[in-house]
Amino acid sequence: MGRRLLSVFANSIYTRLILGLRVRDVTAGFKVWRHSTLIGIGLQRVRSNGYVFQVEMAYLSEKLGYRVKELPIYFEDRRIGRSKMSQRIKLEAVWRTLQVAQRHRRLTQADRQT
């Protein structure tokens, strides 16, 4: 599966369907967080690493009622070399997204950390 097709599937269909996210691109590499948002999320809640870390942070932000603003970026396709995303990593991302949904399904804005 090509990078662009995988990205469209993972971002636009799978994570948005499973998690109900409004964020369009959960794996865009550049993020800016307000200090108050990071405190409110409570980083001890975040269990994921790798690609799914970005998914979990977007999910927690929306679930806890924080505003998520997206700014488009231009991503140039790789000209040489190969992707680091092996089949194992892709399958793990699918499984871990389901875990994120299960783990945080009952969170509400009232669960913000102070």
Q: How many domains does the chain have?
A: 1
**pLDDT for 49-103, tens place per residue?**
888 899 999 999 999 999 998 888 877 777 887 777 778 877 888 899 999 999 9
Q: Is residue 112 part of a domain?
A: no
Under 8 Å between Cβ of 28 and 73? yes
Would you tell me how many other CB atoms lie within 10 Å of the CB of residue 63?
A: 20
Would the pTM count as exceeding 0.75?
Answer: yes
Q: Decide if pLDDT at 109 tops 90.
A: yes
Amino acid at 111: D
Q: Is residue 51 part of a domain?
A: yes
Higher pLDDT: 47 or 27? It is 47
Q: Is residue 87 part of a domain?
A: no
Under 8 Å between Cβ of 40 and 112? yes
For residue 88, report the phi and psi dihedrals to the nearest 5 degrees: -60, -45
Q: Is residue 91 part of a domain?
A: no
pLDDT at 72: 80
Q: Is residue 77 part of a domain?
A: no
CB-facing half-sphere around the CA of 71: CA atoms within 13 A? 4
Q: Decide if pLDDT at 22 tops 70.
A: yes
Q: Is residue 7 part of a domain?
A: yes
Q: Where does residue 107 rank: exposed (0-12), middle (13-18), buried (19+ CB within 10 A)?
A: middle
Q: Is residue 50 part of a domain?
A: yes
In the structure, what pLDDT confidence band is assigned to residue 3 with cuts at 50, 70 and 90? low
Q: Is residue 92 part of a domain?
A: no
Instruction: State which residues form the domain around 25.
Output: 1-71+99-106
